Chain A
């Protein structure tokens, strides 16, 4: 048993499917409770305890839902990239499960980012959408997610699908620096980075606090949903294996 072998590293042991199912069961509820607290606090800050911006006025409050989703949109893809490397290099049994289940979550965060961004754009720039570098590369990011989800659904056997999809995921990662640096490379409507930048954040603490609390809420939400979705995917694979075993035993062939 990997879980009992002292030569197997701590993280490898955590990622062993049986052990993962065991520890993740105890993690989901406390993380979900913490996530609910962060959301309540973040929304309270966003609506009742943060100032209006001197230029944007109250529309700055849209940032508290838009920006965390923009970060999570890229973070989820980062998880998929790391999992794809784990799948390609170490053929880890949980790596492709992690990559597969992060894709729909990443697509949801990207969709929220695009929709809230468009709504924010109307009062701020006077338009919902422009085909500039940042907005277009963000839309391409959503299409990459949707393409990867469609590919996972196209294969009957998820184990066989893992390798080609891992390669496609790694190729799709080229879009991440394009999104990040599009504000520096091209003349675009969104402003340059004001939080994660050399020299520290440029925004005041009263605006930065709700942003970071909402970021914490969405990060916790991603962790909870990702753990739950990974457990579901493992159950789905076990169901497929059990159904195949039953079919073989009914056909009279050895299991």
Chain B
């Protein structure tokens, strides 16, 4: 494989673009999952506290 190919710029750009979008998809999916898990945990804890206060 020749590393002196003048087209390496195109190959590097394609992989940089493709892999950064892939990483962005992973990042946003994980961030959203953590955010909603935290919100759900807080809401459920508040519900348990409220119910125990009522009874």
Residues of A whose CB lies within 8 Å of any CB of B are 48, 51-52, 57-59, 61-62, 65-66, 69, 104-105, 108, 111-112, 115-116, 119-120, 122-123, 221, 225, 228-229, 231-232, 235-236, 238-239, 242-243, 246
CB of B2 within 8 A of CB of A58, answer: yes
- From B15, B24, B32, B46, A229 is in contact (CB under 8 Å) with B32
- Would you list the 4 A-B pairs with minimal beta carbon distance, nearest first? A235-B36, A65-B18, A119-B14, A62-B14
Residues of A within 8 A of B21 (CB): 108, 111-112, 115
Q: Which residues of the other chain, B, contact A238 by a CB distance below 8 angstroms?
A: 40
Contact B18–A112 (Cβ < 8 Å): yes
Query: Are A123 and B39 CB-contacts (below 8 A) given A116-B17, A116-B18, A242-B44?
Result: no
Chain A binding surface SS class? helix
In the complex, what distance in Å separates the CA atom of A198 from the CA atom of B26? 35
CB atoms of B37 and A235 under 8 A apart? yes
Q: List 30 A-B contacts (CB under 8 A).
A: A48-B1, A57-B7, A58-B1, A58-B7, A58-B11, A59-B11, A62-B11, A62-B14, A66-B18, A108-B24, A112-B18, A112-B22, A115-B14, A115-B17, A119-B14, A123-B10, A221-B26, A228-B29, A229-B32, A229-B33, A232-B37, A235-B33, A235-B39, A238-B40, A239-B36, A242-B40, A242-B43, A242-B44, A246-B43, A246-B47
The dominant DSSP class at the B interface is helix
Q: B42 to nearest A CB, angstroms?
A: 9
Do A225 and B11 touch (CB < 8 A)?
no
Chain A residues closer than 8 Å to B46, beta-carbon distance: 246
CA distance A123 to B30 in the complex (A): 36
**Inter-chain pairs besides A108-B25, A229-B33, 14 sampled, C-beta below 8 Å:** A52-B2, A58-B2, A58-B7, A59-B7, A62-B15, A105-B25, A111-B21, A115-B18, A120-B14, A232-B37, A235-B33, A235-B39, A235-B40, A238-B40
